Amino acid sequence: MSMSTPSKSLKVIGDDTWKNKTEKVNAELFTLTYGAIVSQLCADYDRDFQKVNNQLYSMGYNIGVRLIEDFLARTALPRCENMVKTSEMISKCAFKIFLNMSPQVANWSPEKDTFSLILDENPLSDFVELPMDAMKQLWYSNVLSGVLKGSLEMVQLDCDVWFVSDVLKGDPQTELRIKLNKVLKDEIPIGED
Amino acid sequence: MFLLVNFASLENTKCTFDEISRTKISLLMAIYSFWIFDKHCNCIFDREWTLLSNSSSGTINSKQNEETAKLLYGMIYSLRSVTQKLSKEGTNNEVRSISIGKFRIHTYCTASGLWFVLLSDYKQASYSHVLQYIHSHIYVKYVTRNLLSPYDFAENKNETRGQGFRKINNRNFISTLESFLAPMILQ
């Protein structure tokens, strides 16, 4: 990949990878599979939705740490030098390639270390209506926060990722917040320091 | 008539990417060894061919290569820090190959900290497409997507910073890699 990729070409990379290097599957099958997982978890944890959230998060984390390798293999993109670049890469490349959507990036913190992804369309929650008892606590798509957490950690970005609102809960939009804690240092062989 | 024959023969040979690269490459060059390092500075895979006439000769994940692996890692590591210091801020400046007296070292580094390293003779300037192919079609397919294989080869703190010993031992990975690289060993 050439030195600094302007944002426009990130979109081109994302679109191109989606078109040419990605096998497609039926989105409904995906949505329903995810729905089956969530409902099974709710049953397993006796509708303790806090536990369901945590379990979805850790499942997402385990997906993310592997998915990042797949993403990098498809795109051969280099590391991002700042969070602005990271946000563009997530919305224009990663979400495009794996879910065929490009969430908007919004609500930057003044230090440019925290931003939100606004998910206008969320394939995970198509057809879903939360029952009353789940409305308050369940973050239905919480697997996504785990995926982002895991994959960002693998490229040395220690982040916190959480949902702040979800249309399923009656909020006007679905908003996912990402906060950079710190950039992890690359390891050096023992004796080199 | 001639054209027709040509077309027919082209149709018959369904060329996939790796077949094309294999046939091109086998005419040109020789490779000596192949290495993978992870982000914990550990060598997680090594393959050395000893007889150029025999693609199955040599060693896989050998204890004897530990020292060589460390030296190779250190060399690439140092050159990477030099190039990063020399590059303008915010630009990405990777080491792609290092040429030394008797052979050439080709490197392909991913953002997740994996290094794919290939030692070859001088006949080919760039192996980056080969290394990228190994990453995307062999490593990701047989290591990353294999949920029973660890995604991180250091299990605890004592195995980080170059002190690890775990290796990729997946049969599928090794056999696919062997058959992909075999044609590049000089016949």
Task: Residue B157: list chain A partners with CB under 8 A.
Answer: none
> What integer pLDDT is reported at residue A54 of this predicted model?
94
List all residues 6 or more positions away from A40 whose beta carbon is below 8 Å from its beta carbon: none
Q: Is B31 helix (H, G, I), strand (E, B) or coil?
A: strand
Contact A78 B92 (CB under 8 A): yes
**pTM for the model:** 0.84
How many cross-chain Cβ pairs, A to B, lie less than 8 Å apart?
73
Distance in angstroms (rounded) separating the CA atoms of residues A43 and A131: 13
> What integer pLDDT is reported at residue B55 of this predicted model?
67
Contact B111 A155 (CB under 8 A): yes
Whether B7 shows a pLDDT value over 70: the answer reads no
- Which DSSP helix (H) or strand (E) runs through A152? helix A143-154
> What integer pLDDT is reported at residue B27 of this predicted model?
47
CA A164 from chain center: how many Å? 14
> What integer pLDDT is reported at residue A181 of this predicted model?
92
DSSP codes joined into one string, A46-71: TT-HHHHHHHHHHHHHHHHHHHHHHH
Give yes or no for a contact between B67 and B48, defined as CB atoms under 8 angstroms apart. no
B140 to chain A: nearest residue by CA? A70
Interface-testing mutation among B71, B72, B80, B110, with chain A (most A C-beta atoms within 10 A):
B110
DSSP codes joined into one string, B140-155: IIIIIT-TTS-SSS--
3-state helix, strand, coil in chain A (%, to 5): 50, 15, 35
- CA of B161 vs chain A CAs: smallest distance (Å): 4
Closest C-alpha to A31, from A101, A134, A127? A127
Distance in angstroms (rounded) separating the CA atoms of residues A134 and A170: 12
Return the structure tokens found at B135.
């990453």
Q: What is the mean pLDDT of each run of 10 residues along chain A (193 residues)?
A: 57 86 85 92 91 94 94 88 90 90 91 92 86 88 94 93 91 92 86 68
Give the tens place of pLDDT for each residue, B126-175: 888 889 999 999 999 999 998 888 888 888 888 788 777 888 888 899 99
Give the tens place of pLDDT for each residue, B26-79: 444 588 889 999 999 889 999 888 776 666 777 888 888 888 888 899 999 999
Task: Residue A65: list chain B partners with CB under 8 A.
Answer: 151-152
10 Å Cβ neighbour count for B113? 17
> What integer pLDDT is reported at residue A157 of this predicted model?
92
Task: Residue B160: list chain A partners with CB under 8 A.
Answer: 187
* Terminal C-alpha separation, chain A: 30
